[in-house]
């Protein structure tokens, strides 16, 4: 996050007490699966600060539960890097890879699947451990939406037709930002579940969409310089400039205002959650799960994202150029395990 672009996030900053250990051990999992093979790749990965991000998203988690969060964050960004090169401009190639990864949601993968797919399969297996079938179904649906978003984004680049409106871009980006699967994991990391029927609540739905939108706006501002250097055109700041003829500064200021408006609405929606519990007839344990979802899932994905964006080296221009190298992309996406 550029230091001159500030946001006032009215939520407390939190971090797992186990973050130092998790940070020291974060390379064990990706190395064991062949997702990181060289010292250069390891150094690049560490600069991203993904263990720090997980410890902020899941401040209530320690030990193996936090490790799962760290591995998910590592996987997210290793996967995302695969679309910085030619694959991200070819919808067929994008779909080939996303299909190979998404197959893990349906059963065991063939040995020939790429390392990034086997990494996801391992995470998915651990995510579903001790969680209910309804949670697994809900999370799988969110994952499928996430993968589909990458194909939609590649289709836009292939047609050389960047998104012309913020609304159209938001519809796609809400999937590829990956917030919903991240929030789902908070339940798994905390060993609690929100009753499925509560997700029909308009209040909870609006809170989740705010969390998604704030994340993607923060991310687009943080990644703006990197994406400008790479020639990317699908960024909220760039789209606002095309759509309204605004300067870069005005477009960023508009996003700052949008974030603040959404957060004010978020705080108002939070105050309605006790009534949601009454409407859906939640018992004491179910109300506790809903409260934990508010404090340990939705709030932390907003504040944790902000804190991480301000410290991560992922959005340095030289980081982006290194991650986009073809050798790095092929190492992750095409080699057999």
> How large is the greatest C-alpha to C-alpha distance in the chain, in angstroms?
55
User: Quick check: is 10 in a domain?
Assistant: no
> Using CA atoms, how far apart are residues 46 and 42, in angstroms rounded to an integer?
6
pLDDT at position 321: 56
User: Quick check: is 321 in a domain?
Assistant: yes
* pTM of the model as a whole: 0.93
Q: What is the CA radius of gyration of the chain?
A: 19
> Using CA atoms, how far apart are residues 323 and 295, in angstroms rounded to an integer?
34
Among candidate residues 231, 91, 123, 236, the one with its CA nearest the CA of residue 174 = 236
pLDDT at position 230: 84
User: Quick check: is 9 in a domain?
Assistant: no
Report the CATH number at residue 192.
1.10.600.10
Q: Annotated active-site positions, please? A: 76-77, 80, 84, 157, 173, 219, 223, 226-227, 230, 308-309
pLDDT at position 231: 86
Among candidate residues 245, 135, 231, 243, the one with its CA nearest the CA of residue 181 = 135
pLDDT digits (tens, 9 = 90+) for 7-48: 889 999 999 999 999 999 999 999 999 999 999 999 999 999
pLDDT at position 157: 87
pLDDT at position 324: 52
pLDDT at position 71: 98
User: Quick check: is 192 in a domain?
Assistant: yes
pLDDT < 50 positions in the chain: 3, 325-331, 335-337
**What does each C-alpha distance from 304 to 12, 14, 189, 316 come to in angstroms?**
9, 7, 15, 19
Among candidate residues 301, 304, 308, 210, the one with its CA nearest the CA of residue 263 = 210
pLDDT at position 207: 98
Q: Which two tokens stand for residue 118?
A: 């086997």
pLDDT digits (tens, 9 = 90+) for 117-131: 999 999 999 999 989
pLDDT at position 317: 65
* Residue found under tokens 């930002």: 177
User: Quick check: is 68 in a domain?
Assistant: yes
Q: Which domain holds residue 281?
A: 19-333
What is the domain count for the chain?
Answer: 1
């Amino acid at each position: 996050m550029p230091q001159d672009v500030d946001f006032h996030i009215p939520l407390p900053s939190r971090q797992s007490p186990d973050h130092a250990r998790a940070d020291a051990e974060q390379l064990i999992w990706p190395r064991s699966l062949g997702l990181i093979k060289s010292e250069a790749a390891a150094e690049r990965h560490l600069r991203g600060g993904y263990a720090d991000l997980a410890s902020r998203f899941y401040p209530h988690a320690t030990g193996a539960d936090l490790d799962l969060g760290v591995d998910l964050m590592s996987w997210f960004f290793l996967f995302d890097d695969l679309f910085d090169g030619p694959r991200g401009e070819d919808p067929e190639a994008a779909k080939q890879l996303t299909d190979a990864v998404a197959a893990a949601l349906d059963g065991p993968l063939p040995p020939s699947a790429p390392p990034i797919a086997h990494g996801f399969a391992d995470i998915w297996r651990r995510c579903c451990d001790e969680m209910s079938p309804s949670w697994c179904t809900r999370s799988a649906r969110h994952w499928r939406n996430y993968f589909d978003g990458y194909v939609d984004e590649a289709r836009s680049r292939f047609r050389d037709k960047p998104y012309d409106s913020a609304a159209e871009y938001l519809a796609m980006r809400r999937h590829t930002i990956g917030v919903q699967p991240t929030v789902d994991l908070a339940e798994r990391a905390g060993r609690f579940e929100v009753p499925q029927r509560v997700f029909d609540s308009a209040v909870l739905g609006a809170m989740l969409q705010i969390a998604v939108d704030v994340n993607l706006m923060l991310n687009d501002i943080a990644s703006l310089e990197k994406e400008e250097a790479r020639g990317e055109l699908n960024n909220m700041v760039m789209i606002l400039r095309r759509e309204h003829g605004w300067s870069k500064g005005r477009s960023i200021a508009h996003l700052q205002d949008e974030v603040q408006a959404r957060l004010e609405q978020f705080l108002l929606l939070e105050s309605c959650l006790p009534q949601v519990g009454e409407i859906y007839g939640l018992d004491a344990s179910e109300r506790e799960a809903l409260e934990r979802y508010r404090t340990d899932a939705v709030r932390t994905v907003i504040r944790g994202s902000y804190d991480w964006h301000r410290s991560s080296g992922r959005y340095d221009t030289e980081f982006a150029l290194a991650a986009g190298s073809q050798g790095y992309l092929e190492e992750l996406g095409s080699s057999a395990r």
